[in-house]
Amino acid sequence: MGEGNSILAFCCLLLSAPLLGQSHLSLSVDNDLYFATDYYYSSGIFIRYGKEIKKDSSTVERFFSKIEIGQLIYTPRGRYATEIEALDYPFSGYLFVRYQKEKVEPNRQGYQYAAELGVSGAASLAEPMQNLYHEQVLQLPPLSWTAAMPQELHLGIRGAYFRAFSLGKNVAFVPDATAVLSTHQTKGAARLGCILGTTAKMPFHFSPLLNNQKGWGVYFGWQQQYIFHDFPLEGSLFNDASSFTLAPNRARNLLELGAVWHTQQWKLQGTFYSASKDTPLQNRSRHRYLNFTVSRYF
């Protein structure tokens, strides 16, 4: 999981970030341990640095860039199993760097597009990071990582669009759509969301710099996805190097409930996710996890 090392790196960046100009630095962590579970999509940790790259005084449009380093970890329910027959989900890790740009008309609409380079398998550092956390923090035995997904280089591009519809002074309906083309995961997704609060009526996953003001917000969303390819479950498109694969559920959905609070310098955000099954072999109808994000503006 590696939360300790990543938080240390985030603190070092936080000390140097004031030199970077109008910008933000964020640490974001996904985890299911809050619900006494530790399997399927088990953990995600992301460090992001973003800045405003252009502001045209003649229009309301604003432009942003962001670079993100992230690690994703997937595990089966049988975390200590040494036989493939006992697994209901492959062990898998993914380490990536992503560069993203945004064009936004505040409280109206916005676009994102990004390019991504990543690696799975041993180079993702998922196994040592997760076992370090389990042994040193949770005082648990190391996970087996039986038949883990192999090491491969991954490339991807993605894009997103949202449109805001004001329903009153502090309420907005904010649908958005996302498309991802990647050797790690290729999907299309549509989200129906509603935001209540005093903050700008923007999706929570767009640039924090749009909301560097005092305020709060509550978000309710439903996301429907269609997965064309899912490396953590079905392996590579180009070879059969994976020793254990599963058939994925192509159609999936996410229930999202979030809250945000921010000042001129800080943003704190928490989001609850309830995900449908990734694969028919999962023995629970939904999987829950939480995200916590802290952002600092400079």
The domains of the chain are located at: 3-297
Cα distance between residue 203 and residue 208, in whole Å? 10
Q: What is the reported pLDDT for 136?
A: 87
Contacts of 287 (CB under 8 A, 6+ apart): 32, 37, 40, 41, 274, 275, 277, 278
Q: Which residues contact 277 (CB under 8 A, 6 or more apart)?
A: 249, 252, 284, 285, 286, 287
Distance in angstroms (rounded) separating the CA atoms of residues 67 and 76: 30
Angle subtended at Cα 278 by Cα 129 and Cα 75, rounded to the nearest 5 degrees: 25
With a cut of 50, which residues of the chain have pLDDT below it?
1-3, 6-11, 13-21
**What's the pLDDT at 257?**
95
pLDDT of residue 20: 41
- Give residue 123's region: left, alpha or beta (phi > 0; psi -120 to 50): alpha
pLDDT at 46 (0 to 100): 97
pLDDT given for residue 58 in this prediction: 63
Q: What is the pLDDT of residue 198?
A: 82
What is the full DSSP assignment across 243-259?
SS--PPPSEEEEEEEEE
List strand residue ranges (DSSP E) for the chain, in order.
23-31, 40-55, 62-75, 92-105, 109-120, 153-163, 165-168, 171-173, 176-182, 185-197, 215-230, 251-262, 266-276, 286-297
| Distance from the first to the final alpha carbon of the chain | 29
Number of Cβ atoms within 10 Å of the Cβ of 295 = 23
**11 DSSP assignment:** H
| Per-residue confidence (pLDDT) for residue 210, from 0 to 100 | 64
CATH number of 3-297: 2.40.128.140
Q: What is the pLDDT of residues 182-230, one digit of tens each?
A: 999 999 999 999 999 887 677 777 766 665 567 888 999 999 999 999 9
CA of residue 142 relative to chain centroid, distance: 25
Chain position carrying tokens 């649908």? 175
Return the pLDDT at 15.
Answer: 43
Q: What confidence score (pLDDT) does residue 35 get?
A: 87
